[in-house]
Amino acid sequence: MSAPRIGVSGVLRTWDGADRTGVNSAYVRSVLTAGGVPVILSPLIGPSFASRALDGLDGFLLTGGEDMHPAWYGAEPSPHLYPPSRERDLFELAAFAAARQRGLPILGICRGIQLVNVAMGGTLYQDLPSERPGPVAHDPGGDRQARSHAVRLVEGSRVASALGAANLSVNSFHHQAVERLAEGLVATGWSEDGLIEAVETPPDAPWLLAVQWHPEEMNADARAPDRGLFRALVEAAGARQADGVAIGEAAGA
């Protein structure tokens, strides 16, 4: 059995006068460290080929980035909305739907938790400072590895098991977040102001876990519990791969 292949959703950026597509290297390093093979999926693939792009993959990682357009959850744009990428929204929504249909294990990070919630019928706060001001700074600025606020997790949940802890101080840089939780998702983590920070599917549903902070930025610290999220994804992908091999062997017996 080979190392699980993990699709990693990418971005479009203009850099040095050229349009480029790729992904923050921290996601690639995190998947590699966890024992997976990262495969970058560009939004340029488009929704028509999103399902084909998942061929041969064992898991799917939805990364951080732009705001989602509020039209996807039936809201008018806030004046505080950061420019969304329709191209990325369309590709990732289609890829997420295809991954769910195939039963691929899915890990969502920051924008990823938001996309999962919207795709499954939930809504978002478009801008926390103006819509839900509170005592926790969810976008405090500063170093991307700086742990800025605490998160409380449900003991025995998928996320707590992956992290090996029920309480964690996390790095945070986002201004959108889950508002109304989608049916089919269970909230398993909250910040001190009650904002949802982690969601997952029930134990009897296909493996899905999503968090609002940025665990990929902790990849260089061998002691960081955040690395456990990527190990959990790769392990779930490996288990699915093994099941597929076992089924294939049984069919050929």
Residues involved in catalysis = 110, 214, 216
List beta partners, residue 149: 170
Calculate Rg over the CA atoms of the chain. 18
Alpha-carbon gap, residue 198 to 219, rounded angstroms: 19
Contacts of 1 (CB under 8 A, 6+ apart): 238, 241, 242, 245
Please answer whether residues 114 and 39 qualify as being in contact, where contact means their C-beta atoms are separated by less than 8 angstroms.
Answer: no
The tally of CA atoms less than 13 A away on the side-chain side of residue 84 is 23
Contacts of 219 (CB under 8 A, 6+ apart): 26, 29, 30, 33, 227, 230
Sole residue written with tokens 């997790």 = 153
Alpha-carbon gap, residue 49 to 232, rounded angstroms: 28
Q: Which amino acid is at 62?
A: L
Q: Which DSSP letter does residue 3 get?
A: P
Q: Which DSSP letter does residue 196 get?
A: E
Interhelix angle 86-102/111-119, rounded to 10 degrees, is: 70
DSSP reduced 3-state for 18: strand
Alpha-carbon gap, residue 179 to 22, rounded angstroms: 29
